[in-house]
Structure 1
């Protein structure tokens, strides 16, 4: 298959693109008894293909224990240099090792490792570790949120790489006022970047301890940055409603000043927007709340734990996963201040709601999400982080992860499981593995930002 060079001039053009035929999924053995390296899996999702619903290739990294996590493209629709660059390289970070891998997808069905940035180089040049979110920038550089320093201490920072994957330095002028780092999204026409907070890597690496909340070891703030000046201009403390603000997404419409943040532990969705009074101040309002549930015979309530969110390319629907409760939700966000529940599916979880897909009883709860450009197919995996998986869903280590597909009604709203497609990562050649983030060749709903 030839390399996909798709760059869309607008979200509207992206929605009309040819349906995805392949997916890339980061898979890992970190946190299991299997001493094997993590790898990038290539999955055939084309119903007309003879290898449909199978892993067609696996690209292992050379080390054991990296814990590959999030990954992204070297360039995207925001790049002013897209006429001379190809969306060819995937950048994937190892959370535990601090190592950064560059995968070459010139052969789409069989990626190869092109380059490795070793943690020693990151330590000596920028003193950063625990790479997380990857976004390509309009100037051709690549930006990665780093959740800690080389010793796993907070707050980390934002790493810049050039198109040759050389370390440029820090994006931010300084991190004063920022306690922790996690995800980020920028909206250039409003000269803003928003970043969120998790915890220091040395804290969350060990698993979750509720007492660490009271010790102040987890975040609850949103940070708003001047995109041009690369400096922090505003922070919002979300209080008790805002513990663990993780994924942040703006509307795809580059003129929009609306976005959403998923709050993991407090299990809320906040709508963020620019004030209408002309001050340039940003606001955050709680618009969705998922209350904790106490299952029968349980001694304490279980929070939903919202771990991933995304917005459809037409900015109409918000999707999110409740990792511990076990459901995926679809909300109509035509009015960002008043989302309306449009669909809900139960995919396991801790509330006793068993789900079977293609004769497979699901383990764990839904976690990472990726939506097709036309908004009709939602892909789901179930691994959050190895130590957290082992704590809340220890069966994943033995049974492995899954990749499933949900069919989404883009007219009336609603979702249903596609039983024709299922990848069981419990049956991998080297044994059961965990599957995390998903990407498409040519871009997806969480890759591109328009300028």
Structure 2
């Protein structure tokens, strides 16, 4: 009888993850905005030594339509070393769970035996999520203590909240329960992450289903009705501990990126827009004695533009807001990447001192007004901009896709957003960013679907939390 072994893509520390072999495949969720064709999971070859480098080498259509795939994730990651009841021996980073943000269905794909051709092994219907956890509109998932944590924007059957977190069984993927035992003042939901060694979960705020599904609602935005706070929870008990207000003008607190060092007590949150001046911002949360605090450490101003260059939603303002829609922190906690989907810019900051980020690089592709092309196709204006950003474990490669969310794509890029995926190169010691001209997917590569989130084979900077600080 063979002895089960620990999955080699489970890393005890950030340093171990950084030293591991590079990714050879990227998984990308794509969706059909018209909901006439199935959404799909695309597999992209990222190995520069492969004859198929930079191409889609696997494609799996979902069995349904109208799901709108958005965020997705692995069934297990490096944090499994610390999870009670999660048997590390024999456990594998094998299954990808794909939530449908509009349908509330969750499709589970097995990436073995052929990682280029994942197989559908289970579908979790919307009514199971609603009846067992009381939630709908699943958004982000992470492998966590006691199960897989799935943040959801709506309550049962798509109603307007409160949103929260559903727990799924690690092995069967059945919906077990709602995670919260005492939600306190929390109502709006979006992302959720944690400091495992601090027994702390952090959650952020976007909006309820009716606030997002047809695009930004101007009256709600200008009335400061979208999310503008962080919430801190007791991870073991599911109890709300503290609400940290960022200010009502700081609308849509989205992506959370805690430090990878398991002994640290800080992280970053991205804020889409300020209703005072259309700027975007990044905030650092940190523990101060027995309280959590948050400080704005990065402000990115709006850029003036001619009215005829702007979509109708922005013409009254005469400017392009950066629209920070994603952030990502390198595994060594050295560099923070900030996507400005409105202006078409990806910014890189040295956050060696997380309280004082220092910009070290930037690249522009697309953008509402500039439509800057990729150097591999200099005659092709790009719509959309750097949106979802994923960082390789070793910090040398940055992957980008350009679609945000169907209704919002249409609002800010009304002539069409298309679909593209790019890769940047960087030096993990000194920073700086350059566009990799050998890697650019666009046009028919995604078969008429829009490309959203990326997951890298073996894990990436935003899918794992670590249990040990040393090697």
Query: What is the aligned partner in structure 2 of residue 307 from structure 1?
Result: 325
- 1:352 equivalenced with 2:370 (yes/no): yes
Q: Structure 2: where are the runs of 5+ without partners?
A: 1-5, 82-86, 275-279, 309-314
- 1:257 equivalenced with 2:269 (yes/no): no
CA contact (8 A) 2:254 2:270 kept: yes
Q: Deviations over 1:264-289 (max 9, x none)?
A: 123100011000xx3x2001000100
Query: What is the aligned partner in structure 2 of residue 146 from structure 1?
Result: 152
| TM-score, with structure 2 as normaliser | 0.90
Where do residues 33-182 of structure 1 align in structure 2 (5 Å cutoff)? 35-80=36-81, 81-106=87-112, 107-139=114-146, 141-149=147-155, 150-162=157-169, 163-182=171-190
Quick check: 171-180 or 185-194, which moved more?
171-180
Change (3 A) 1:395 1:427: farther
The Cα of 1:9 is off from its aligned counterpart by: 1.1
Q: Deviations over 1:49-75 (max 9, x none)?
A: 111111011111111100011001111
The Cα of 1:291 is off from its aligned counterpart by: 1.1
Q: Structure 1: where are the runs of 5+ without partners?
A: none
- How many residue pairs were aligned? 439
Q: Matches of 2:133 and 2:15 in 1, distance apart?
A: 39
Query: What is the aligned partner in structure 2 of residue 436 from structure 1?
Result: 452
Query: What is the aligned partner in structure 1 of residue 282 from structure 2?
Result: 269
Q: Matches of 2:222 and 2:342 in 1, distance apart?
A: 21
Q: Matches of 1:354 and 1:182 in 2, distance apart?
A: 30
Q: Matches of 2:76 and 2:152 in 1, distance apart?
A: 19
Query: What is the aligned partner in structure 2 of residue 9 from structure 1?
Result: 12
Query: What is the aligned partner in structure 1 of residue 255 from structure 2?
Result: 247
The Cα of 1:333 is off from its aligned counterpart by: 0.4
Q: Matches of 2:354 and 2:127 in 1, distance apart?
A: 44
Moved over 4 A (4+): none
CA contact (8 A) 1:155 1:175 kept: no
Where do residues 283-298 of structure 1 align in structure 2 (5 Å cutoff)? 283-297=293-307
| TM-score, with structure 1 as normaliser | 0.94
- 1:202 equivalenced with 2:210 (yes/no): yes
Query: What is the aligned partner in structure 1 of residue 311 from structure 2?
Result: none
Q: Matches of 2:349 and 2:432 in 1, distance apart?
A: 9
CA contact (8 A) 1:327 1:366 kept: yes
CA contact (8 A) 1:42 1:55 kept: yes
Query: What is the aligned partner in structure 2 of residue 449 from structure 1?
Result: 465
Q: Matches of 2:222 and 2:383 in 1, distance apart?
A: 31
The Cα of 1:120 is off from its aligned counterpart by: 1.6
Q: Matches of 2:448 and 2:66 in 1, distance apart?
A: 15
Q: Matches of 1:332 and 1:16 in 2, distance apart?
A: 21
Q: Matches of 1:340 and 1:223 in 2, distance apart?
A: 27
Q: Matches of 1:52 and 1:444 in 2, distance apart?
A: 19
The Cα of 1:144 is off from its aligned counterpart by: 0.3
Q: Matches of 1:231 and 1:17 in 2, distance apart?
A: 36
Q: Matches of 2:249 and 2:285 in 1, distance apart?
A: 14
* RMSD between aligned residues: 1.6
Q: Matches of 1:177 and 1:387 in 2, distance apart?
A: 29
Query: What is the aligned partner in structure 2 of residue 193 from structure 1?
Result: 201
